[in-house]
Structure 1
Amino acid sequence: MTFQLSEVIEVLERTPKILEQYLVGLSDGWLESNEGEGTWNPSQVIGHLIDAEKYNWIPRLELILSETSDKKFPPFDRFSHLQQYHDWTIEEKITKFSSVRAENVAKLKEMIKDQNQFEMTGIHPEYGEVKVRELISTWAVHDLTHISQITRVMAKRFDVAVGPWKSYLGILNKS
């Protein structure tokens, strides 16, 4: 499959709406459930998505596309959201995520001027050299990963309650 920026943008633009429809208005039981110690609940995942929007995707893209010779990405704290947004409601988190995402998609559309930019590289602290197209593709798949995570966490609440039907519910049988 070839990389298509327009297809990535389709996912990036829809994610906030999907999460709003899925999570806003749910009881705390749904929003605060997790898979055990050290795992995130759906509300915490939204905090993580906010921080990724603020400190990960666009800042790294800006660095790659800049004139600087040092293309090393600063580290991204994947857990900073656990302190920063713990007292925010799901509505506040989704509103913030939607706002920052809209700004970032607009920036993405402005920043990419031609196909050659997709091959430009930066230096990831763990993976080494990465291309713009890989960073942007990862952004969309990151969304899909966390949508899947939220769905899985919510389903696990009823792991026992579904009784014998569990054997037919693949989401409950994956580790």
Structure 2
Amino acid sequence: MSQDLLTTILPLLERTPAALEAQLRGLPDEWINATEGEGKWSPLVVVGHMIHAEEEDWMPRLRRILQHGTSVPFDPFDREAQFTKSAGKGMEQLLREFRTAREEGLKELRKLNLQAHHLNQCGLHPTLGETTAHQLLATWAAHDQSHLVQIHRTLARRLKPEIGPWAQFLSVMQ
């Protein structure tokens, strides 16, 4: 399933920067800083998190699997590093940084010319234990989709007080 996996996930991974840009570029601050409530992430924070994942998670962990297997565990991933790393940055800058990081990651992924045996190799996650390169790559694409949904949901729910009884017909408001 090696080439099938890459054929499946590459179109998703390639489109994420454009999807984020189409949804978020040029929006006023009240939209990009909106949250679903206390302790929830705004679109600005989500994009910062996605940049951090590009830099510290997907390709670094894939390289670790290919070079060391399970003999060297993955470094722990700080899911909240974006609060420091992206502090003071605006959405336009974060969108550019994400696009650049993604393009570099996909360029490196393609250069690896992964085969089935590569995707079956295991790495050692600090919490999950053994995971395969295949699982890591599938999770990369699913992670993108999860955060795109999160952003869409956050933006839609910002309108909840305005739509009144119509909310009952919109699953995103539940």
Q: TM-score, normalised on structure 1?
A: 0.94
Q: CA contact under 8 A between 1:44 and 1:86: conserved in structure 2?
A: no
Q: CA contact under 8 A between 1:53 and 1:100: conserved in structure 2?
A: yes
Superposed counterparts of 1:13-28, under 5 Å: 13-28=14-29
Deviates more, 1:2-11 or 1:100-109: 2-11
Quote the offset at 1:71 in angstroms.
Answer: 3.2
Quote the offset at 1:159 in angstroms.
Answer: 1.2
Partner in structure 2 of residue 82 of structure 1: 83
Q: CA contact under 8 A between 2:73 and 2:126: conserved in structure 1?
A: yes
Give the RMSD, CA atoms, in angstroms.
1.5
Give, in whole Å, the separation in 1 of the partners of 2:79 and 2:61: 15
Give, in whole Å, the separation in 1 of the partners of 2:132 and 2:22: 33
In the alignment, structure 1 segments of 5+ residues that lack a partner are: none
Q: Deviations over 1:19-64 (max 9, x none)?
A: 0111010111110000112110001100000000000000000000
Q: CA contact under 8 A between 2:69 and 2:123: conserved in structure 1?
A: no
Partner in structure 2 of residue 101 of structure 1: 102
Partner in structure 2 of residue 62 of structure 1: 63
In the alignment, structure 2 segments of 5+ residues that lack a partner are: none
Deviates more, 1:145-154 or 1:82-91: 82-91
Moved over 3 A (4+): none
Partner in structure 1 of residue 130 of structure 2: 129
Give, in whole Å, the separation in 2 of the partners of 1:49 and 1:79: 11
Superposed counterparts of 1:23-42, under 5 Å: 23-42=24-43
- Percent of residue pairs identical: 36
Deviates more, 1:151-160 or 1:1-10: 1-10
Quote the offset at 1:165 in angstroms.
Answer: 0.5
Q: Matched residue pairs, number?
A: 173
Quote the offset at 1:86 in angstroms.
Answer: 2.4
Q: CA contact under 8 A between 1:47 and 1:85: conserved in structure 2?
A: yes
Q: Aligned AA for 1:78? A: R
Q: Aligned AA for 1:121? A: C
Q: Aligned AA for 1:60? A: R
Give, in whole Å, the separation in 2 of the partners of 1:122 and 1:67: 8
Q: TM-score, normalised on structure 2?
A: 0.95
Give, in whole Å, the separation in 1 of the partners of 2:34 and 2:77: 25
